Amino acid sequence: MEPPALTPPGVSERTPRWRRVRRIAVLPVAALALAGCTVPTFGAVPGATTTSKSVYHLWQWFSIGAVLIGVLVILLILWTVIFHRRKSDNLPKQSQYHIPLEMAYTIVPILIVFGLFAATLVVENKEVANPKTDVTINVNAFQWGWKFTYPGQNVVVVGQTTQDPVMVMPVNTNVHINLTSSDVLHGFYVHAFNFSRYALPGVLNQFTLRAVTVGTYDGQCTQLCGLYHSLMFFQVKVVPMTEYNAWLSSRANAATAQAAENATNQQTSSGVPTKLSKSQGGN
C-alpha cells in the first residue's frame, strides 16, 4: 500500500474542477486587459461644447451597458460549461417551454433597444438644433484649405496645406455655422467637440456650436479629397466675448477681406495651392 501524497508546505489543495474554472475565468479577464479599454472615458473625450458633453455621456452609458451585458453572457456561458457538461453516457433530463424565462429574454432586449433609441434621439435633437444667435461664421472647405468668413464684420481668415487657419469663436455663446464646399466632398471635424459634418459642393449644411471651455482645439478634413488631404488642418480658438469682439475689430478690413476672397478664388480655380500672406488673411 502506497503512502498518501503529501501537499507541499504553503500550497493549498486545488481540485481539478477549480483549476479548470480558473483557466476559463482568466480568458475574459485577459481579453478585457488586452482590449486597452480606458475607464471611465471608454476611449472618448469629455467634450468642450454642450452637445459634445451630451454625446460623451451617452457613449459612457452605452459602454457601461455593453460591459454589463457582456459580463452576463460570459457568466451564463461559464455556468453552462461548468454545471451542464456531460458527466456520463446518459443524457441529462430534457425540458421545454419555460414561458416566464422566454418572455423575459424576449421583452427585456426589446426594452433595452427602445431605451437606447430614446436616449440617442434626445442627444441627436440637441445636435441638430439651431437656436437663435447673433454670431454666425461661414465655413468654406476647398482643396486643400479652409475659409472662415464673419458676415457683416469684414473679416475673412483663409489658409491651406501647411497653413492652419484659425476659426475664432466666443465661449458660452451659440455660434451658427454655415458649412459649404467649393469643389469636392470634405469633412469638418473637431475632435474635442465630438463633432463631424460633411462639406458638400452645392449643399449648405447648418449647425450650431456652443463651446463651454476656453482653449484652442484641432480640426481637420475627414474625407479623402485629393493630393494634399493629409495637410488640410485648421484650429478652433474659443475665447471670452470681450476678446472675441476685440479680435474682430483688429481684423476688420474690407480690402483685406476682398484680397483673401480673391486669393481663395484663385486657389480653387487653379487647383494648385496658392500661398497666402498674413495680409491676405492667412496665418
Residue 130 pLDDT: 80
Q: How many CB atoms lie within 10 A of CB 265?
A: 13
Residue 75 pLDDT: 87
Residue 280 pLDDT: 46
Long-range Cβ contacts of 28-33 (<8 Å, 24+ apart): 28/71, 28/74
Q: How many CB atoms lie within 10 A of CB 175?
A: 22
Closest CA to 94 of 82, 105, 104, 84: 84
Quote the distance between the C-alpha of residue 231 and its chain's center: 21
Nearest-angstrom CA–CA distance, 192 and 217: 6
Which three three-digit cell numbers place residue 44?
Answer: 472618448
Cell 486669393 -> residue: 263
Which three three-digit cell numbers place residue 152?
Answer: 457683416
Count, residues in the chain: 283
pLDDT beneath 50: ranges in the chain: 11, 274-280
For the entire predicted model, the pTM comes to 0.69
Residue 12 pLDDT: 53
The fold of 135-280 is: Immunoglobulin-like (2.60.40)
Query: Rounded to the nearest 5°, which phi and psi values hold at 143?
Result: -75, 110
Angle, CA 115 vertex, CA 111 and CA 119 arms, to 5°? 175
H helix intervals, 14-158: 16-34, 50-83, 99-128
Residue 277 pLDDT: 42
Query: Rounded to the nearest 5°, which phi and psi values hold at 139?
Result: -110, 125
Domain limits, the chain: 16-83+98-128, 135-280
Query: Rounded to the nearest 5°, which phi and psi values hold at 279?
Result: -70, -20
Residue 257 pLDDT: 63
- Classify 235 as helix, strand or coil: strand
DSSP 117-168: HHHHHHHHHHHH-----SEEEEEEEETTEEEEEETTTTEEEEEETT---EEE
Q: Are 157 and 165 in contact (CB under 8 A)?
A: yes
